[in-house]
Amino acid sequence: MTLKTLVPAIVVEKEVNLMINRNSFDMDAGRWINQRIVIRDGVRRDKPFSIRLYNPCEIRQLLAAAGLKAVKMCAGWNGQSLPAESRGMVVVARKPN
């Protein structure tokens, strides 16, 4: 998930059941927020969740606080460069000598 692709709402219908995802991003907290509503067999359940999204600068700071240094940051296991629209991040870090 990237901020460029964040849509305000997604509705998934399967038979008579519904899943509604109402998405937003809290810039101060760096969190993607999903106010999920599931309606199954006519019963509504609210299942909100949020996920912390880190940028490369924040990852470097967290690694430094743990005594590690980032060696490489890429978009996947094949070592692709890390564009802003990347859906994931692979980090290789080491402990300095």
Compute the Cα dihedral for 82, 54, 6, 50 and give only its sign: positive
Q: Cβ-count burial of 96 within 10 angstroms (0-12 exposed, 13-18 middle, 19+ buried)?
A: exposed
pLDDT of residue 64: 96
Containing structural domain, residue 82: 56-94
pTM check: above 0.95: no
Residues 44 and 16 in one domain: yes
Residues 48 and 10 in one domain: yes
> How many folded domains does the chain comprise?
2
Structure tokens at 22: 């109402």
69: pLDDT strictly greater than 70 = yes
Instruction: Give CA angle at 34 (62, 45), nearest 5°.
Output: 135
**In the chain, pLDDT over 90 holds for what percent of residues?**
73
